[in-house]
């Protein structure tokens, strides 16, 4: 199955970073291919591929390390070996691209990065995946597609969750060349920025730039065009200075690469002198060459944070300040997307979503304890009744419990990463911040940012203003409170919000307006929730799988591919319903939903009798309940009349108007004639836990009706639509082909409710029917 299966993915690894290759293969759920890369005694590189790779998609994981030249030769030989073995595609996964700093023309030199790019393409690589190139323009050196991924989302998460009091930080650019990257971090974290000025750039000085060759001193020649050309003055290194305030704050230096750390140590010493009380260095690639671990250990730097694009376990053993952030998830997702021919531009948001709730991301849920007094006017024709404070407080409490249960079920049943613990949900009540705001200050400071024209154009406002009931100021102001909630979350918690999920008609999904779907099992039972998602339209199901489940995009694509072959099986709807019911109600809730669904659609009386009273009420929750006093000797007709299933007896007996006679009832999936329930049968029910009752020659024997009480569920069509005849079916006839009753049938389903208490003569029995 081309493009939809990982069976034709083969991960190969050189000697540069086999641990990263193992992590990527594990996340993709594939086995790493057999490949031996070794050096002969004369230092030549040998590659032996153990598995057949003909027609396969090959992904070679090879990064740049301090043994850079061997890394390059291993990659080139592996790629060429795959090319000559008829691989379908060969993708180089090169987290750190070697020689990437030599991407500019030097004095009497060359652009080495371009040379390396040409060699890689000639060797057979058809695609490159890399991370945080030293210059984005390097992508243009390659004759094949290059995906330059970013590690910044992972480093930003580290700052937010692992640096205490990070809101008191300032992002520092080690030199003006790093200011662009530092600005990007500062804007995303909403922090201040500082730039260290005066430090001469490493190996990128204009003095050695090829633009100033040949030398400026003219030589004797026939035509000397350099006469009169001014000599370019050499740069002098000015004193180091910091533009920006770092006093009493945490300084966070960001860069793409840490190799020789002397310049970082010098910058840290200056930051310390200017009053920074903690200093962090964050970079994507941590080469940490030469004596870097010792220099870091002895420096004012508190922590150096790098990703695992380059192995540095030895350096971590030498210096406890070096920390690692894993980016294998980003690389594995990039491989999966390339393999499935999916877009790469949304990779970063999707990657963050995949890690939502995982360390170090925290999920927030806002409960409207304050806005509950106002009420959302959208989707309402009239103003919502004012709720008492006690009711709102109880609602807040119940909603919080439901949300916590969902996250507990996620941790117990769906969280698969045993190395990480799911971060608990943070539930906040907006009443806590509105209680501290003065009403006059709120109107003067917040209200003046809203324009009446914009607010009046809202659909929820337009529809109500034009109605007879109109709209109160209370509901009109709801949008101001809603907007301020998001502003408060952003300022207080640096929290990003998710958009509302809507139906294809644009209505809020699962809200109280219309058909509500609740997390509380008392309001929406596990069975009802399960059936709600089973009924999802084919046009919506893929979108809801992406929004509400933790399936990967590749798994969702496989699910939809199976659906395209067998749409009648409703496989995506079942996956969606299973996932959501498990998440909301846990394993027991999902088991109940499966059991109830099987009972209803299998038409098996024994399964029906196994349902508890609660489960029965879930199934027939829409029916009317009639409470009757059970008396021996009642006929089925008597029960029907007492339950008001007929307007008069003539609707149930044959008469001159040829109205149909109702002379059968359904006991589970079995039928019985219209006759007396004799007193002896009730005595048997009362005294025996295993007694069996027979319901005439036209029915089959089944378990005693009940041991404590009887639930009779009536279903019938409207009397005005009753036809002129009704087919009488015996149990033997019903057993042939499982026929379906006519639509105008009157059905009495006698079901067991409980088994613990004995039936008393005066026991009140419920008969439930739907008219």
CATH code for position 204: 3.40.50.2020
Residues 16 and 59 reside in one and the same domain: yes
CB atoms within 10 A of CB 528: 19
Residue 551 lies in a domain: no
406: Cβ contacts below 8 Å, ≥ 6 apart? 519, 583, 584
Domain identity same for 640 and 756? yes
CA distance 201 to 176: 9
Query: Does one domain contain both 181 and 322?
Result: yes
Please indicate, yes or no, whether residues 401 and 287 belong to a single structural domain of this protein.
Answer: no
- Token pair for residue 463? 């529809």
Q: CA-to-CA distance for 388 and 303, rounded, in angstroms?
A: 53
Q: Which two tokens stand for residue 581?
A: 């019911």
Q: Are residues 142 and 161 in the same domain?
A: no
In a domain, 687, yes or no: yes
Q: Are residues 244 and 305 in the same domain?
A: yes
Q: Is 608 domain-assigned? A: no
Task: Tell me the three state secondary structure of residue 770.
Answer: strand
Q: Write a three-state SS string for 109-129.
A: CCCHHHHHHHHHHHHCCCEEE
Note whether 70 and 88 are same-domain residues: yes
Q: Are residues 126 and 20 in the same domain?
A: yes
Residue 69 pLDDT: 94
Site of tokens 């000797």: 633
| pLDDT for the residue 519 | 86
CB 70 within 8 A of CB 39: yes
d(CA 517, CA 622): 15
pLDDT at position 114 is 93
Domain annotation covers residue 530:
no
Rounded Cα gap, residues 302 and 281, in angstroms: 8
680 Cβ contact list (under 8 Å, min separation 6): none
* Total structural domains within the chain: 4
Owner of token pair 């990527």: 24
pLDDT score of 501: 73
Range of the domain at 157: 152-213+236-326
Q: How far is Cα 60 from Cα 87, in angstroms, rounded to an integer? A: 12
Structure-block tokens of residue 144: 């094949």
Q: Return the DSSP state at 2.
A: T
Do 730 and 644 fall into the same domain?
A: yes
Six token digits for residue 376 = 């959302």
| Spatial distance between the Cα atoms of 276 and 404, rounded to a whole number of angstroms | 40
Specify if 599 maps to a domain: no
If residue 155 lies in a helix (H) or strand (E), which one and from where to where? helix 152-162
Same domain, 696 and 732: yes
pLDDT at 59: 96
Residue closest to 551 by CA, chosen among 29, 10, 157? 29
Joined together, the tokens standing for residue 131 give 């991370």
Cα separation, 16 vs 596, in Å, equals 56
605 and 582 Cβ atoms separated by less than 8 Å: no
> Do 31 and 180 reside in the same domain of the chain?
no
Last residue of a domain, one of 440, 473, 493: 493
Determine, yes or no, domain membership for 373. Answer: yes
Residue 602 within a domain: no
- Positions in the chain whose pLDDT score sits under 50: 1-4, 200-208, 210-213, 349-359, 512-514, 650-771
> Which one of 447, 476, 493 terminates a domain?
493
- What is the DSSP code (8-state) at residue 412? I
pTM for this model (two decimals): 0.50
pLDDT confidence of residue 697: 30
DSSP state of 497: P
pLDDT digits (tens, 9 = 90+) for 563-589: 988 888 899 999 999 999 999 999 988
Token code pair at residue 185: 């971090």
Alpha carbon distance 317, 313 (integer Å): 6
Q: Judging by DSSP bridges, how do beta strands 670-673 and 664-667 pair with one another?
A: antiparallel
Q: Side-chain half-sphere of 49: how many Cα atoms within 13 Å?
A: 25
Q: Are residues 649 and 666 in the same domain?
A: yes
Dihedral sign computed on CA atoms, order 269, 274, 276, 280: negative
189 is a domain residue:
yes
Domain CATH code at residue 395: 3.40.50.620
């Amino acid at each position: 199955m081309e493009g939809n299966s990982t069976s034709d993915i083969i991960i190969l690894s050189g000697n540069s970073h086999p641990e990263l290759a193992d992590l990527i293969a594990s996340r993709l759920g594939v086995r790493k291919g057999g490949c031996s890369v070794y050096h002969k005694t004369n230092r030549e590189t040998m590659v032996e591929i153990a598995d057949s790779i003909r027609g396969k998609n090959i992904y070679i994981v090879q990064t740049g390390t301090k043994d850079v030249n061997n890394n390059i030769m291993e990659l080139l030989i592996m790629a060429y070996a795959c090319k000559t073995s008829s691989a379908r595609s060969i993708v180089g996964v090169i987290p750190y691209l070697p020689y990437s700093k030599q991407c500019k023309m030097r004095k009497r030199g060359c652009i080495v990065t371009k040379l390396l790019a040409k060699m890689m393409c000639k060797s057979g690589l058809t695609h490159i995946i890399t991370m945080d190139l030293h210059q984005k323009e390097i992508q243009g050196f390659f004759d094949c597609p290059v995906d330059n991924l970013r590690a910044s989302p992972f480093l930003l998460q580290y700052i937010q969750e692992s640096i205490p009091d990070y809101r008191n930080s300032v992002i520092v650019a080690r030199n003006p060349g790093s200011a662009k990257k530092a600005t990007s971090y500062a804007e995303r974290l909403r922090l201040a920025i500082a730039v260290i000025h005066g430090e001469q750039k490493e190996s990128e000085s204009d003095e050695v730039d090829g633009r100033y060759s040949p030398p400026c001193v003219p030589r004797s020649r026939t035509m000397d065009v350099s006469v009169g050309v001014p000599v370019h003055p050499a740069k002098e290194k000015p004193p180091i200075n910091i533009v920006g305030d770092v006093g009493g704050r945490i300084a966070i230096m960001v860069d793409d690469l840490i190799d020789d750390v002397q310049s970082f140590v010098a910058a840290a010493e200056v930051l310390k002198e200017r009053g920074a009380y903690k200093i962090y260095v964050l970079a994507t690639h941590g080469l940490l060459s030469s004596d870097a671990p010792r220099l870091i250990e002895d420096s004012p730097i508190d922590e150096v944070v790098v990703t695992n694009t380059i192995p540095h376990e030895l350096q971590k053993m030498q210096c406890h300040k070096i920390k690692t952030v894993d980016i294998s998830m980003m690389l594995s997702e990039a491989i999966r997307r390339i393999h499935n021919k999916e877009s790469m531009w949304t990779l970063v948001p999707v990657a963050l979503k995949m890690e939502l709730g995982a360390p170090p991301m925290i999920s927030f849920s806002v409960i409207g304890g304050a806005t509950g007094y106002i009420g959302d006017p959208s989707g309402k024709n009239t103003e919502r009744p004012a709720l008492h404070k006690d009711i709102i407080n109880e609602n807040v409490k119940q909603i919080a419990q439901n949300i916590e249960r969902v996250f507990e079920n996620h941790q117990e049943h769906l969280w698969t990463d045993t190395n990480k613990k799911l971060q608990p949900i943070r539930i906040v009540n907006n009443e806590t911040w509105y209680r501290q705001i003065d009403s006059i200050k709120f109107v003067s400071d917040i209200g003046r940012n809203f324009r009446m024209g914009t607010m009046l154009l809202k659909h929820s406002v337009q529809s109500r203003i034009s109605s007879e009931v109109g709209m109160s100021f209370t509901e009109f102001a709801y949008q101001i409170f809603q907007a301020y909630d998001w502003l408060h979350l952003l300022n207080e918690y640096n929290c990003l919000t998710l958009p509302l999920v809507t139906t294809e008609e644009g209505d809020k999904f699962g809200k109280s307006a219309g058909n509500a779907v609740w997390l509380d099992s008392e309001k929406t039972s596990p069975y009802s929730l399960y059936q709600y998602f089973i009924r999802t339209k084919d046009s919506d199901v893929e979108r809801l799988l992406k929004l509400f489940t933790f399936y990967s995009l590749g798994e969702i694509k496989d699910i939809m591919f199976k659906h395209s072959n067998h749409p009648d099986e409703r496989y995506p709807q079942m996956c969606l319903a299973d996932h959501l019911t498990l998440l909301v109600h846990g394993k027991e809730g999902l088991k109940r939903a499966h059991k109830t669904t099987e009972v209803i659609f299998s038409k098996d009386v024994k399964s029906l009798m196994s349902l508890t009273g609660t489960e029965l009420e879930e199934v027939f929750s829409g029916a009317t309940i009639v409470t009757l006093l059970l008396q021996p000797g009642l006929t089925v007709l008597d029960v029907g009349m007492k339950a008001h299933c007929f307007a008069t007896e003539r609707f149930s007996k044959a008469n001159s108007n040829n109205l149909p006679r109702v002379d059968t009832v359904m006991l589970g999936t079995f039928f019985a004639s219209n006759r007396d329930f004799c007193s002896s049968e009730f005595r048997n029910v009362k005294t025996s836990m295993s007694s069996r009752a027979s319901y005439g020659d036209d029915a089959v024997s089944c378990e005693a009706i009940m041991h404590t009480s009887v639930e009779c569920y009536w279903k019938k069509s409207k009397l005005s639509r009753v036809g002129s005849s009704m087919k009488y079916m015996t149990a033997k006839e019903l057993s042939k082909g499982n026929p379906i009753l006519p639509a105008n049938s009157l059905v009495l389903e006698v079901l067991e409710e409980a088994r613990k208490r004995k039936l008393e003569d005066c026991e009140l029995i419920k008969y439930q029917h739907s008219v």
